[in-house]
């Protein structure tokens, strides 16, 4: 397997884990423990705190993204250099969509850094929550980056029915459904209050 392919697999893995993590975050902001399906989950799985799993997945995504980025310049055919990773405008391949990936990485860093207990307490819950909403944007940008980037870095047109692209499109659908569900949940809660 070539370095470019390894980077692509890592990027897809990060996007799937980020999708899962955003869905978990949305679920945690609801009364999920009252839902019937939660009550049917075996007790041995309920003993793990969802917030801990949510945080560990976030750190894992961040690590995978960094490796995804850092292995690219190892392949001379990629056209990436370490300096071009610091400033995506210098990239030879699809610089706009590399920028989208770059912005999503910055957004992910902001969400993770501001979620550290010390910083979260200093910010206060309302400000932290508003900053944490960036994670929705992060997920959308990750998915756009994954769908549009040519996995072989040959600047080919997007093949929307390629297996990798379909997988990312499914992640996009999952995220959109989760966002819509969260919106509906918030709407029902505001009506009750």
Q: Is the dihedral of CA 174, 57, 135, 157 positive or negative?
A: negative
Structure confidence by residue, pLDDT tens digits, 113-147: 999 999 999 999 899 988 988 888 888 999 999 99
Taking a C-beta distance cutoff of 8 angstroms, is the pair 88, 102 a contact? yes
Residue given tokens 């910010």 in the structure block: 123
Residue among 146, 106, 160 nearest 13 (CA): 146
Each domain of the chain, given as residue ranges in start order, spans: 3-101+140-192
Structure confidence by residue, pLDDT tens digits, 27-75: 888 877 777 777 777 887 777 788 889 999 999 999 999 999 999 888 8
The arithmetic mean of pLDDT across residues 5-15, rounded, is: 92
- Which pLDDT band holds residue 193 (cuts at 50, 70, 90)? low
The arithmetic mean of pLDDT across residues 164-191, rounded, is: 89
pLDDT at 76 (0 to 100): 80
């Amino acid at each position: 397997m070539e370095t470019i392919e390894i980077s692509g697999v890592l990027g897809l893995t990060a996007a799937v884990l980020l999708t899962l993590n955003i869905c978990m975050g949305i679920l945690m902001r609801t009364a999920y423990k009252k839902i019937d399906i939660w009550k049917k989950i075996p007790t041995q799985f309920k003993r793990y705190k969802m917030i801990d799993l949510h945080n560990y997945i976030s750190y894992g995504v961040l690590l995978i993204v960094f490796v995804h980025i850092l292995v690219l310049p190892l392949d001379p055919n990629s056209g990436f250099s370490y300096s071009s990773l610091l400033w995506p405008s210098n990239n030879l391949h699809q610089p706009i969509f590399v920028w989208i990936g770059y912005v999503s990485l910055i957004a992910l860093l902001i969400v993770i850094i501001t979620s550290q207990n010390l910083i979260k307490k200093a910010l206060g819950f309302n400000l932290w929550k508003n900053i944490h909403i960036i994670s929705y944007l992060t997920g959308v940008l990750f998915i756009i980056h994954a769908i549009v980037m040519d996995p072989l870095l040959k600047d080919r047109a997007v093949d929307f029915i390629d297996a990798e692209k379909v997988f990312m499109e499914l992640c996009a659908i999952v995220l959109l459904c989760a966002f819509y569900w969260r919106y509906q949940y918030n709407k029902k809660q505001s009506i009750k209050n």
